[in-house]
Amino acid sequence: MTDATDTTDTTDASGTGGAGGTGGATWVLVLNSGSSSVKYQLLDMAGERRLASGVVERIGEEGGVADHAEALRQASAELKERGLGLDSPALAAVGHRVVHGGTRFTEPTVVTDEVLAEIEKLVPLAPLHNPANITGIKVARELRPDLTQVAVFDTAFHSTIPEAAARYAIDTSVADRFGIRRYGFHGTSHAYVSAATAALLGRDPAQVNVIVLHLGNGASASAVRGGVCVDTSMGLTPLEGLVMGTRSGDIDPAVVFHLERVGGMSTDEIDTLLNKRSGLLGLCGANDMREIGRRMGEGDEAARLAFDVYVHRLRRYVGAFTAVLGRVDAIAFTAGVGENSAAVRVAALDGLEALGIHVDPVRNAVRGSGPRLISADGSPVAVAVVPTDEELAIARDTYALARA
C-alpha cells in the first residue's frame, strides 16, 4: 500500500543548500518500524520535497509479510517500481525513528555497531518498540551498508527536563537501579511543533514559551521554555499523562495492586487493559474522535462521558504546564485530534480567559492545512494549530548528520 503524496512541498526550507559529505546525494529515506508495520517516506532534502511514502502492514500476521526484512524488501520494491529504488546514488542516508533512547541518547546519532548494542540494552525500557526499531536498522544496513544510518530518538527532546520534573518520588536507589524516571515520548513532534509555533508568531524560538498538545492515537503534552523542553506528560513509558485512544493516561498506581489482589488479574492482563483497552475505547467503545463526535450528536451518553474525561485531563495539563512555565506565549495543537477536532480544542480551552487564553470560535472552526492561529486578536496567549511532520524532522536530523 503506497499513498501517492508525491512531491509535496514543505513550507520550511531551512538552508539545505549543497550536499557536503553525501557526494551530491540528497535523498533521505525515513523508516518508522513498529511492531507490526513499517512506515516509510522518501524525501529529497534539496527543497525538502516528499518523493514517496507508504506503509507495509500486518508484519508477521496472516495475509501480511513474514517479518521486518520482508517488509523492507517490499517497501524497497514499491519504491523501485516508481523509479525511486534504494540502490539509487541519490540516496544519502536512512533515518530511523527509535522510540527509547534512555538517558544514553540525547541527540540524533549515527548508527555504529556500538550504538546498535546500546539501543539493544534499552529494550527492557521499551519492549514493544525498540526491538522493531532495531530490526529496521539492521535490515536497512544490510540493504545499503555504504549509507549513513541515523537513529532519531523519541525521548531525546525531553532529556533537558530538570530533575524536579523527571524524578518520581520513590526510593532513589530503586529508581536508579531500574532506570525509572520520566523520559517522555513524541519528542520529535514536540521539538518540531514548538519551533514551528515560534516561526508562526514570527519570533525567536529562544524567547518563546509554548505548551504543545500532541493529540493523536497516543497523546502527550509538553512545556517548552525558549526551545528547551522542561516538562512532559508521558513518563517511563507512553502510558502516563493524557487520556489517549486506548491508553488510560494518569491513574492511581494502586489501581494495579487492586486489580491484582481483588480482581485476580495478572500483570500482563493489566498491562493490556491499561494500554490497549482503556482511554476513549475503554470509556465508550470507540477510540476515534470522529466516531465519538458523531455519537455525541446522536445523544450517546458514553461517548459524551469519554469526550468529557478526555477534555478534563487536557485542561488539567494546560493549567499545570502554565504554572510550570510561569509565562505562556502560545498553546499549539497538533496530530490527528489536535489538527482536526475544533470541538476538542474549544472545550479544552473554554473559559480560560483568566489565564489569558481567548480562542476565536470562527477561526477555530475553519478547516485549514498549514500552521494557523485560532486565538482572538489581542489574546495574551496565542493559540495555534500546527500540523506536525515527524518524518520531515527525522529527515532533517538525518541529513544534517550525513553531511557533517
Binding mask 176-215 for ligand ADP (x = CB under 6 A): ----------------------------------------
DSSP category for residue 357: B
Closest by CA position to 287, among listed 244, 249, 251: 244
Q: Which is nearer to ligand ADP, 61 or 142 (CB)?
A: 61
341 is a contact residue toward ligand ADP (CB under 6 A): yes
288 is a contact residue toward ligand ADP (CB under 6 A): yes
Span interacting with ligand ADP, options 250-258, 282-290, 324-332, 391-399, rule CB under 6 A? 282-290
Any residues with CB less than 8 A from the CB of 388 and at least 6 apart, and which? 189, 192, 193, 214, 334, 335, 339
Span interacting with ligand ADP, options 19-27, 253-261, 285-293, 378-386, rule CB under 6 A? 285-293
Contact criterion met (CB below 8 Å) for 210 and 330: yes
Q: Which is nearer to ligand ADP, 231 or 390 (CB)?
A: 390
218 is a contact residue toward ligand ADP (CB under 6 A): yes
Q: How near is the Cβ of 367 to ligand ADP at its closest, in Å?
A: 9
154: annotated active-site residue = yes
DSSP category for residue 154: T
Residue type, 61: E
Q: How near is the Cβ of 60 to ligand ADP at its closest, in Å?
A: 19
Q: How near is the Cβ of 342 to ligand ADP at its closest, in Å?
A: 8
Q: Which is nearer to ligand ADP, 126 or 201 (CB)?
A: 126
Q: Which is nearer to ligand ADP, 189 or 209 (CB)?
A: 189
How far apart (Å, rounded) are the C-alpha atoms in residues 24 and 4? 26
Q: Which is nearer to ligand ADP, 43 or 230 (CB)?
A: 43
Contact criterion met (CB below 8 Å) for 331 and 345: no
Closest by CA position to 221, among listed 288, 313, 143, 154: 313
Using CB under 6 A, which of 131, 179, 216, 226 touches ligand ADP? Answer: 216
Q: How near is the Cβ of 313 to ligand ADP at its closest, in Å?
A: 15
Angle at 194 between CA 43 and CA 320, to 5 degrees: 145
Count of residues that bind ligand ADP according to CB under 6 A: 12
- Three-state DSSP at 332 gives strand
Taking CB under 6 A as the criterion, which residues in 321-340 touch ligand ADP? 335-337, 340
DSSP H helix total and E strand total for the chain: 15, 14
Q: Which is nearer to ligand ADP, 148 or 222 (CB)?
A: 222
Contact criterion met (CB below 8 Å) for 11 and 370: yes
How far apart (Å, rounded) are the C-alpha atoms in residues 344 and 335? 12
Q: How near is the Cβ of 344 to ligand ADP at its closest, in Å?
A: 7
217 is a contact residue toward ligand ADP (CB under 6 A): yes
Helix axes 289-297, 301-325, angle to 10 degrees: 130
Q: What is the 3-state secondary structure (H, E, C) of 194-233?
A: HHHHHHHHCCCHHHCEEEEEEECCCEEEEEEECCEEEEEC
How far apart (Å, rounded) are the C-alpha atoms in residues 33 and 60? 13
Q: Which is nearer to ligand ADP, 54 or 218 (CB)?
A: 218
245 is a contact residue toward ligand ADP (CB under 6 A): yes
- Three-state DSSP at 301 gives helix
272 is a contact residue toward ligand ADP (CB under 6 A): no
Q: Which is nearer to ligand ADP, 118 or 288 (CB)?
A: 288
Contact criterion met (CB below 8 Å) for 278 and 239: no
Span interacting with ligand ADP, options 94-102, 119-127, 287-295, 296-304, rule CB under 6 A? 287-295
What is the grid cell recorded at 81? 517500481
289 is a contact residue toward ligand ADP (CB under 6 A): yes
What is the grid cell recorded at 213? 498538545
- Which member of 154, 231, 300, 329 is catalytic? 154
Task: Say if strands 148-153 and 91-98 run parallel, antiparallel, or are unpaired.
Answer: parallel
Q: How near is the Cβ of 244 to ligand ADP at its closest, in Å?
A: 8
Q: How near is the Cβ of 316 to ligand ADP at its closest, in Å?
A: 20
Closest by CA position to 386, among listed 332, 318, 310: 332
Q: How near is the Cβ of 335 to ligand ADP at its closest, in Å?
A: 4
Residues that bind ligand ADP (CB under 6 A): 216-218, 245, 288-290, 335-337, 340-341
Q: Give the catalytic positions in this structure.
A: 154
